[in-house]
Amino acid sequence: MTSHAAASPATGRGWPAVPAAAWVAPPLVLVLGFVGWPMAAVLGESVRDRDGALSFSSWSGVLTSAEFLGALGRTAQIALGSTAGALVLGSFLALVLAFVPFPGAGLAARLIDTVLAVPSFLITLAFTFLYGSAGVLRVVVTSVAGQGAQVPSLLTSPLGVILAEITFFTPFVVRPLLAGLAALPREQLEVAASLGAGPLRVLRSVVFPEVTPALAAGGSLVLLLTLNEFGIVLFTGAKDVITLPVLIYVRGAVSLDLPGAAVVATAQVALSLLLYGGYRVGFARLRARSGPEGASDAAVVA
């Protein structure tokens, strides 16, 4: 009976022990099938010409073209602008929800969370009703200044795309920042306030240094998502706003230049992986510098 009891935890009630490789194999096969194989197919397509022959001419032609360089610059502009705006707006909303008690704060936090479940094109559709050619802004301006008043086409400009992405991606900053603020010891705030520090100084010297991992996690996630965002740019109808995802669509679906689209897609994947690798290295150094407590808080929002 003793030997049976001792053998049960190791073998699972007498069942034969399953090698560790058997548990790793199924998810590994799924990853290779649904991620590895498509990526290998895209990479293979990028080194062929339109006739299917092996050629690296697409790489040199696409990566040095003004179209690709312009799309790369526009993608970086929109991604950086959207990330900066989401960090500013998300920090403000998180601080208000965490430190400013008001009726309905919990409901407001839940409403912000619901944006995470909304398709991105619905945000663009809402912007169309607000800032489109027949939107609320045009109606207000024409009713005040007359029918001949010029209303800027905000929605179809890079600024309109950035504003739409800020609106959609801000909750990705609010949620980890709220988790970081919830883990912040209130004693630190009370001690700082008792020593005469004002609210702004408390935020600058106490709060933000403690929630830096949360800001880094949220900002890095938003940067990666905006770098690869396609739906918002497409639904704004901004014909002059060509980002890398839009360029992939144009070359692959419109121009039927599959090798060129594969080159752009491979370059974008490489850029995303490079940014993600840089984020993980920087995040690991930040956790090591912040010590055990900072590491545990960072793990909550990583």
Choose among 88, 121, 65: nearest CA to 242.
65
On average, the pLDDT of the chain sits at 77
Q: Check residue 5 and give its pLDDT.
A: 47
Q: Check residue 296 and give its pLDDT.
A: 44
Choose among 217, 85, 224: nearest CA to 161.
85
Kindly give, in sequence order, each residue whose CB lies less than 8 Å from that of residue 91, ignoring residues fewer than 6 positions away.
173, 177, 215
Residues 145-181 pLDDT 10s: 666 666 666 777 888 889 889 988 999 998 888 888 8
Kindly give, in sequence order, each residue whose CB lies less than 8 Å from that of residue 111, ignoring residues fewer than 6 positions away.
none
pLDDT higher than 90, residue 107: no
Q: Check residue 223 and give its pLDDT.
A: 92
Q: Check residue 277 and give its pLDDT.
A: 85
pLDDT higher than 90, residue 85: yes
Q: What is the pTM of this model?
A: 0.75
Provide the residue ranges of all domains of the chain, joining segments of one domain with +. Answer: 59-118+165-301
Packing angle between helix 66-99 and helix 158-169, nearest 10 degrees? 40
Cβ(227)–Cβ(301) under 8 Å? no
Percent of the chain with pLDDT over 90: 8
Residues 228-284 pLDDT 10s: 888 888 887 777 788 989 888 888 888 777 878 888 888 888 888 888 888 788 777
pLDDT higher than 50, residue 11: no
* CATH number for domain 59-118+165-301, candidates 3.40.30.10, 3.40.50.150, 3.30.360.10, 1.10.3720.10: 1.10.3720.10
H-assigned helices in 116-257: 120-131, 136-145, 158-169, 171-182, 186-194, 199-202, 208-210, 212-227, 231-236, 244-249
Position with higher pLDDT, 302 vs 105: 105
pLDDT higher than 90, residue 83: yes
Cβ(103)–Cβ(180) under 8 Å? no
Percent of the chain with pLDDT over 70: 75
